[in-house]
Structure 1
Amino acid sequence: MKYTTTQTKVGDILIGGDSPIVIQSMTTTTTTDVDATVDEAIRIHKAGAKLVRITAQGVKEAEALKDIKEKLKERGYNFPISADIHFNYKAAYTAAKYVDKVRINPGNFIKHGKTESFEEGVDKIKERFIPLLDLLKENHVALRIGVNHGSLSERMMVKYGDTPKGIVASCMEYLNICREENFHNLVISIKSSNTVLMIKAVRLLVTEMRKADMAYPLHLGVTEAGEGEDGRLKSAVGTGTLLNQGIGDTIRVSLTEDPECEPPVAQKLIDFTEKGDLSENLKLDFEPRKILKRGDFSNANAPRVLVDARGKKSFSTEDLGYKHGEKGIRACDYVIVEKYSDDLPKTLKQIIPIEEYEEGKGFALYNEGNYQKTSETEDLFFIEVDVVESLDMVNKLNNDDSIVLIAKLNENKPFQKIENFFKVLNNLNLQLPVVVNLQSTADSLEDLQIQAAANLGNSFVDGLASGILLTNSNLPLSHVRETAFGVLQASRARTTKTEFISCPGCGRTLFSLQEVTAKVKAHFNHLNHLKIGVMGCIVNGPGEMGDAHYGYVGAGPGKINLYKGTEVMKRNIPSGNAIEALEELIKEHGDWVEPNES
Structure 2
Amino acid sequence: MQTLSNPQTTPETTPAFDTTIHRRQTRPVPVGNVTIGGGHPVVVQSMINEDTLDVEGSVAGIRRLHEIGCEIVRVTVPSMAHGRALADIKARLQETYQPVPLVADVHHNGLKIALEVAKHVDKVRINPGLYVFEKPKPDRTEYTEAEFNEIGQKIRETLEPLVISLRDQGKAMRIGVNHGSLAERMLFTYGDTPEGMVESALEFIKICESLDYRNLIISLKASRVPVMLAAYRLMVKRMDDLGMDYPLHLGVTEAGDGEYGRIKSTAGIGTLLAEGIGDTIRVSLTEPPEKEIPVCYSILQSLGLRKTMVEYVACPSCGRTLFNLEEVLEKVRAATSHLTGLDIAVMGCIVNGPGEMADADYGYVGKQAGYIALYRGREEIKRVPEEKGVEELINLIKADGRWVDPE
Same fold (TM over 0.5): yes
1:560 to 363, 372, 386: 372
| Counterpart for residue 26 of structure 2 | 291
Structure 1 residue 522: deviation in Å?
A: 0.9
Q: Which amino acid aligns with 1:395?
A: L
Deviates more, 1:412-421 or 1:426-435: 412-421
Deviations 1:354-375 (A, max 9, x none): 2541425433333322672454
Alpha-carbon distance in structure 1 between the residues aligned to 2:301 and 2:234: 24
Instruction: Tell me: CA distance 1:164–1:544, structure 2 relative to 1, closer, same or farther (3 Å).
Output: farther
Quickly say closer, same or farther: Cα 1:412–1:520, change in 2 above 3 A: closer
Instruction: Find 1:386's aligned residue among 173, 177, 186.
Output: 177
Q: In 2, Cα distance between the equivalents of 1:536 and 1:545?
A: 11
Q: 1:305 to 1:162 in 2, by over 3 A?
A: farther
CA distance in 2 between counterparts of 1:157 and 1:509 reads 34
State the partner residue of 2:159: 372
Does the CA-based 8 Å contact 2:175-2:201 persist in structure 1?
Answer: no
Q: 1:532 to 1:478 in 2, by over 3 A?
A: same
How much does 1:382 deviate? 2.3
Q: Secondary structure at the match of 1:442?
A: coil
Cα distance, 1:293 vs. partner?
1.1
Larger helix fraction of residues: 2
Any conservation in 2 of the 1:321–1:332 contact (CA below 8 Å)?
A: no
Change (3 A) 1:455 1:372: same
Aligned in 2, Cα 1:159/1:540: closer, same or farther, shift over 3 Å? farther
Q: State whether residues 26 and 247 of structure 2, in contact with CA within 8 Å, keep that contact through their aligned partners in structure 1.
A: yes
Map 1:219-234; keep pairs closer than 5 Å.
none
1:129-528 matches, within 5 Å, as 158-159=11-12, 163-164=16-17, 197=19, 286-295=21-30, 296-310=35-49, 322=64, 328=67, 330-338=68-76, 339-340=85-86, 341=89, 342-344=91-93, 345-353=97-105, 354=114, 356-359=116-119, 361-368=121-128, 369=131, 372-373=159-160, 374-375=163-164, 376-377=167-168, 379-386=170-177, 388=194, 389-396=196-203, 397=205, 398=209, 401-411=214-224, 413=226, 414-444=228-258, 446-472=259-285, 474-528=286-340
* Contact in 2 for aligned 1:310/1:336 (Cα 8 Å): no
Specify the code of the residue in structure 1 equivalent to 2:257. D
- Partner residue in 1 for 2:390: 579
Per-residue deviation, 1:350: 0.9
- Aligned-pair CA distance for 1:481: 2.3
SS at match of 1:439: coil
TM-score by length of 1: 0.49
Partner of 1:246: none
After superposition, give the CA deviation of every residue in 1:493-515 in whole Å (9 maximum; x if it has no partner): 11211111111011221211111
**Cα offset, 1:443, TM superposition:** 3.1
Contact 1:437 1:468 in 2 (8 A): yes
- Say whether the 8 Å CA contact 2:29–2:38 is kept in structure 1: no
Q: Give the C-alpha shift of residue 312 in structure 1.
A: 5.6
Q: Is the 1:322–1:331 Cα contact (8 Å) retained in structure 2?
A: no
Structure 1 residues 316, 591: closer, same or farther in 2, change over 3 A? farther
**Alpha-carbon spacing, 1:512–1:456, altered in 2? closer, same or farther (3 Å):** same
* Runs of 5+ unmatched residues, structure 2: 77-84, 106-113, 133-157, 179-193
| CA–CA separation in structure 2 for the residues paired with 1:321 and 1:586 | 34
| RMSD (Å) for aligned C-alpha atoms | 3.1
Partners in 2 of 1:306 and 1:159 — Cα distance? Answer: 44
Gaps of 5+ in 1: 1-120, 124-154, 166-196, 198-284
**Comparing 371-380 and 497-506, the one that deviates more:** 371-380
Contact 1:538 1:555 in 2 (8 A): yes
- CA spacing shift, 1:432–1:360, aligned 2, 3 Å: same
* CA spacing shift, 1:454–1:318, aligned 2, 3 Å: farther
C-alpha contact (below 8 Å) 1:321/1:331 kept by paired residues: no
CA contact (8 A) 2:345 2:364 kept: yes
Please tell me whether the aligned partners of residues 452 and 487 of structure 1 are also in contact (alpha carbons under 8 angstroms). no
In 2 relative to 1, CA 158–491 (structure 1 residues): closer, same or farther, beyond 3 Å? same
Distance 1:361 1:382, change over 3 A: closer
C-alpha spacing 1:556/1:122, structure 2 compared with 1 (3 Å):
farther
Q: Distance in 2 between matches of 1:351 and 1:539?
A: 51
- Helix, strand or coil: the match of 1:492? coil
Paired letter, 1:536: G
Rounded Cα–Cα distance in structure 2 between residues aligned with 1:595 and 1:161: 43
Q: How has the CA–CA distance of structure 1 residues 350 and 407 changed in structure 2, closer, same or farther, with 3 Å as cutoff?
A: same
Number of equivalent positions: 321
Distance 1:319 1:532, change over 3 A: farther
Which SS does the other structure have where 1:449 is aligned?
helix
Change beyond 3 A, Cα 1:160–1:288: farther
Assess if the C-alpha contact under 8 Å between 1:320 and 1:331 holds in 2: no
How far does residue 318 in structure 1 lie from its aligned partner after superposition? 7.6
1:213 corresponds in structure 2 to none
Distance 2:288 2:243 in 1: 38
Give the direction of change, closer, same or farther, for the CA distance of 1:384–1:312 in structure 2 (3 Å limit): farther
Amino acid in structure 2 at the alignment position of 1:461: A
Which letter maps to 2:247?
P
CA separation of 1:496 and 1:357: change in aligned 2, threshold 3 A? same
Residues 318 and 559 of structure 1, relative CA distance in 2, 3 Å threshold: farther
**SS state of the match for residue 383, structure 1?**
strand
Aligned to 1:56: none
**Structure 2 CA distance for aligned equivalents of residues 537 and 589 of structure 1:** 25
- Percent of aligned pairs with the same residue? 25
Q: What SS does structure 2 have at the residue aligned with 1:395?
A: helix
Per the TM alignment, residue 552 of structure 1 is displaced from its structure 2 partner at its CA by 0.9
Is the Cα–Cα contact under 8 Å of residues 26 and 38 in structure 2 kept in the other structure? yes
